[in-house]
């Protein structure tokens, strides 16, 4: 199966097993809007808990807030979103499909990189231990040809981005021979800017211009406008951070990658306020800290990488992405930005309120600088789901689909099953449920053969299945079957809680950080 086919299968699996549904499906859905089902919501909550506790409990100087989706419209003038939260869009006249011009160019560049990597991999195979990658890249004619192509387009792209030169975007697309994947033609329109903010009206003047209000495109501004309240009421001393989880809305131009790019999504953002001049040190610390949080989940260090930005957003003096290996390649999962005093400084200007920190040690007052970490909950769900999905051949020739979701994030931790629906086994199984339900999300299942029940639990990623049989009535032990290894062991009912907890506990995950 190609990665693309695998992705399609994953999307279908997520729907079939209650993780994620297209929104308003009975009306044929709503583009790039998705609902989380009974399994998806638990996965999402577990991810949010892991982030929230890691931020606010493991850092004495980070507190959380919950601000509103609606904010004063001036917020978005101060933040720069009204003027500059745009994407460059381009249409293909033949397919009538719309694309982001920057993404078309970046994908073209990524393909060239892939070609060069393939050449290197071939060389490695051919030369074995004697292989010198740097020398190969500097001398192999195929690599050099691709590299020249890459450099030419890349240099032009960086310049066009910096100058916001929309005409040059189009010229690059034409010169590189980039065609629409649907029509296969290069019959492109000009490139235009498109503001991504959704607006609606609030109030009753009847004048849509006066009543116009935006749905927040990021949660961060809620933190900035509450900075003074939190700092004062919490008697926070710099450096300190404010964390928030909440919905954000963006009218994305291209939204064809399931929950990777949605129009309504959720963010987990933390703004860390520091003394000006110390921001690079904190930027470095937060890069390390956030990568550790990801790797700690156990989805393989090799599936993450940093991508430092060459072109910085208008508010940043340093920026990097943590990228994850999604089925469609390495893509941004989290952004880390050093935002200087851009946001607080602009809110100070536009509101006329003094937003400064008085440093009792030096007697100075200043507008704090800020380092931001920002991750999408939905992208994180997609990272976990796409990494977890596996199809395995069993010894008896059958196949099983198993979601190897890291146990502390799994929606259901344990399934309890009586072997048969009689002889007092359901009653004892119910007692086992009563023993476990206060600590773990569980399912009780008594339908079909045990094999079928195991398959159902594998498909939603339940780490443990507990089977109650006739021996259980006599000796108080049950069979515990583990999802990944499929090994089984007899365990006393009173020891179940500790055994399950040792694998699924969020506390243990946090302890490892
Ligand atoms: P991209 O370049 O992919 O559009 P971005 O750089 O605009 O993302 P940020 O503004 O840095 O993203 O947002 C921070 C995080 O929020 C991203 O790393 C991503 O995880 C998440 N995110 C942003 N836009 C979306 C979206 N449309 N759907 C789902 N998650 C999103």
> pLDDT tens digits for 148-198?
999 999 999 999 988 889 999 999 999 999 999 999 999 999 999 999 999
> Tokens 């339900």 identify what position?
437
Q: 397: Cβ–Cβ under 8 A, 6 or more apart, which residues?
A: none
CB 291 within 8 A of CB 300: no
Question: Which pLDDT value is given to residue 206?
Answer: 72
Q: How confident is the model at residue 307 (pLDDT cuts 50, 70, 90)?
A: very high
Tell me: the pLDDT tens digits for 256-305?
789 999 999 999 999 999 999 999 999 999 999 999 999 999 999 999 99
For 151-156, the CB contacts below 8 A with 24+ separation are 153/105, 153/108, 153/109, 153/112, 154/109
- Average pLDDT over every residue of 72-100: 93
pLDDT > 90: percent of the chain: 88
CA distance readout (Å), 331 to 306, 393, 497: 10, 30, 38
CB 180 near ligand 1, within 6 Å: no
What is this structure's pTM? 0.88
Q: Is the pLDDT of residue 325 over 90?
A: yes
How far, in Å, from the CA of 218 to the mean position of ligand 1?
Answer: 9
Kindly state if the Cβ of 375 falls inside 6 Å of ligand 1: yes
CB of 102 closer than 6 A to ligand 1?
Answer: no
Distances (CA, A) of 259 to 10, 34, 271: 12, 7, 25
What is the pLDDT at residue 265? 98
Q: Which residue's alpha carbon is nearest to atom 12 within ligand 1?
A: 335
252 Cβ below 6 A of ligand 1: yes
Q: How far is the CA of 320 from the centre of ligand 1 (A)?
A: 13
- Please tell me the distance from the alpha carbon of residue 470 to that of residue 103, in angstroms, as a whole number: 61
The string of DSSP letters for 129-180 reads: GG--HHHHHHH-HHHHHHHHHHHHHHHHHHHHHHHT-HHHHHHHHHHTT---
The answer to whether 369 and 273 are in contact (CB under 8 A) is yes
pLDDT at 311 over 80: no
Distance from Cα 376 to the centre of ligand 1, integer Å: 6
Highest mean pLDDT (candidates 201-205, 356-360, 376-380): 376-380
Best mutation site among 31, 265, 376 for ligand 1 pocket (most ligand atoms within 8 Å of CB): 376
- Whether 222 and 67 have beta carbons less than 8 Å apart is answered as yes
pLDDT band at 108 (very low <50, low <70, confident <90, very high): very high
Confidence bin at 207 (pLDDT 50/70/90): confident
Query: Where is 295: in which H helix or E strand?
Result: helix 279-295
Nearest CA to ligand 1 atom 25: 261
Under DSSP, is residue 399 helix (H, G, I), strand (E, B) or coil? strand
- Tokens, residue 283: 């930027």
Residue 349: pLDDT band with limits 50, 70, 90: very high
Question: Which atom of ligand 1 is nearest to 263's Cα?
Answer: 27
- Averaged pLDDT for residues 332-351: 97
Query: Is the Cβ atom of 220 under 6 angstroms away from ligand 1?
Result: no
Give the per-residue pLDDT at 228. 97
Please identify, by atom number, the ligand 1 atom nearest to the C-alpha of residue 337. Answer: 11
Mean local confidence (pLDDT), 56-85: 95
**Tens digits of per-residue pLDDT, 390-432?**
999 988 889 999 999 999 999 999 999 999 999 999 999 999 9
Q: What is the DSSP letter of 292?
A: H
Residue of 38, 59, 153 whose CA lies nearest to 106: 153
Per-residue pLDDT at 95: 94
Whether the per-residue pLDDT at 205 is higher than 80: the answer is: no
Q: Is the CB of 382 under 6 A from ligand 1?
A: no
**What element of type H or E holds 407?**
none
Q: If you ran DSSP here, which 8-state letter would residue 215 be given?
A: B
- Nearest-CA residue for ligand 1 atom 23 is 376
Q: What is the pLDDT of residue 256?
A: 74
pLDDT at 254 over 80: no
Q: Rounded to an integer, what distance in angstroms lies between the CA atom of residue 99 and that of residue 254?
A: 6
Q: pLDDT value at position 9?
A: 95
Which of 309, 294, 464, 506 is CA-nearest to residue 383? 294
As given in the structure block, the two tokens for residue 79 are 């933040």
Cβ atoms 340, 371 nearer than 8 A:
no
pLDDT of residue 229: 97
- Supply the mean pLDDT for the chain: 95
Distance CA 386, CA 326 (A): 7
Residue 81 in contact with ligand 1 by CB distance below 6 A: no
Atom of ligand 1 nearest to the CA of 321: 18
pLDDT of residue 451: 93
Ligand 1 closest atom vs CA 262: 28
> Is the link from the previous residue into 510 a cis peptide, with omega within 30 of 0?
no
Measured by CA distance, the residue closest to atom 2 of ligand 1 is 332
Report whether residue 261 contacts ligand 1, using a CB cutoff of 6 Å.
yes
The pLDDT score that the predictor gives to residue 84 is 85
310 falls in which pLDDT band (50, 70, 90)?
confident
Q: Is 245 in the pocket of ligand 1 (CB under 6 A)?
A: no
Is the CB of residue 334 below 6 angstroms from any atom belonging to ligand 1? yes
Please tell me whether residue 253 adopts helix, strand or coil conformation: coil
At residue 6 the predicted structure's pLDDT band, cuts being 50, 70 and 90, is: confident
Which pLDDT tens digit goes with each residue over 444-476?
999 999 999 999 999 999 999 999 999 999 999
The encoded tokens of residue 427 equal 């009653």
Structure tokens that stand for 437 in this block: 């339900």
What does the pLDDT read at residue 1?
72
Helix (H, G, I), strand (E, B) or coil at 441: coil
pLDDT at 204: 72
Residue 350 clears pLDDT 90, i.e. is over it: yes
For 319, phi and psi rounded to 5 degrees?
-160, 145
Which residue has a Cα nearest atom 31 of ligand 1?
376
Question: Measured in Å, how far apart are the chain's first and last C-alpha atoms?
Answer: 36
Q: What is the mean pLDDT of residues 8-15?
A: 96
259 CA from centroid of ligand 1 (Å)? 11
Q: Is the CB of 332 under 6 A from ligand 1?
A: yes
- 265 CA to centre of ligand 1 in angstroms: 9
């Amino acid at each position: 199966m190609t990665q693309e086919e695998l992705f399609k299968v994953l999307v279908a699996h997520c729907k079939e097993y209650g993780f994620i549904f297209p929104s308003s499906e009975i009306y044929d859905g709503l583009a790039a809007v998705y609902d989380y089902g009974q399994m998806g919501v638990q996965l999402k909550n577990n991810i949010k808990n892991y982030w929230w506790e890691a931020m606010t409990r493991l850092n004495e100087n980070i507190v959380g807030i919950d601000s509103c989706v609606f904010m004063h419209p001036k917020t978005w003038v101060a933040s720069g979103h009204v003027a500059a939260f745009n994407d460059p869009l381009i249409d293909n006249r033949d397919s009538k499909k719309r694309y982001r011009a920057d993404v078309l160019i970046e994908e073209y560049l990524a393909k060239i990189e892939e070609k060069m990597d393939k050449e290197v991999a071939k060389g490695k195979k051919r030369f074995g231990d004697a292989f010198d990658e740097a020398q190969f890249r500097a001398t192999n004619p195929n690599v050099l040809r691709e590299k020249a192509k890459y450099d030419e387009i890349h240099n032009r792209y960086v310049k066009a981005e910096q100058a916001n030169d929309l005409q040059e975007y189009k010229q690059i697309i034409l010169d590189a021979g980039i065609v629409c994947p649907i029509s296969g033609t290069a019959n492109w329109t000009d490139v235009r800017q498109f503001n991504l903010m959704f607006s609606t009206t609030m109030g009753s003047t009847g004048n849509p211009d006066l009543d116009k209000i935006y749905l927040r495109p990021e949660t961060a501004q809620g933190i900035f406008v509450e900075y003074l309240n939190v700092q004062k009421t919490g008697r926070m001393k710099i450096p300190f951070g404010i964390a928030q989880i909440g919905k954000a809305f963006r009218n994305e131009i291209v939204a064809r990658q399931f929950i990777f790019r949605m129009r309504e999504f959720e963010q987990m953002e933390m703004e860390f306020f520091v003394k000006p001049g110390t921001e690079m040190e904190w930027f470095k610390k937060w890069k390390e800290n956030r990568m550790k949080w990801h790797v700690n989940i156990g989805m393989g260090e090799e599936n993450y990488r940093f991508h430092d930005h060459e072109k910085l957003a208008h508010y940043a003096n340093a920026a990097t992405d943590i990228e994850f290996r999604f089925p469609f390649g390495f893509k941004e999962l989290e952004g880390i930005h050093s935002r200087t005093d851009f946001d607080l400084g602009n809110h100070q200007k536009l509101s006329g309120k003094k937003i400064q920190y008085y440093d009792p040690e030096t007697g100075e007052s200043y507008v704090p600088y800020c380092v931001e970490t920002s991750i999408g909950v939905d992208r994180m769900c997609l990272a976990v789901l796409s990494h977890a999905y596996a199809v395995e051949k069993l010894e008896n020739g059958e196949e099983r689909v198993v979601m190897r979701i890291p146990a502390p994030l799994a929606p259901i931790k344990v399934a309890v099953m009586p072997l048969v629906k009689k002889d007092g086994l359901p009653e004892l199984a119910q007692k086992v449920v009563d023993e476990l339900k206060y600590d773990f999300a569980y399912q009780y299942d008594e339908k079909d053969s045990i094999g079928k029940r195991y398959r159902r639990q594998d498909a939603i990623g339940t780490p443990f299945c507990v089977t109650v049989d006739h021996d259980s009535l006599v000796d108080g032990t049950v069979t515990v079957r583990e999802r990944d290894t499929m090994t089984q062991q007899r365990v006393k009912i009173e020891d179940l809680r500790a055994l399950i907890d040792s694998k699924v506990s969020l506390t243990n995950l946090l302890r490892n950080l």
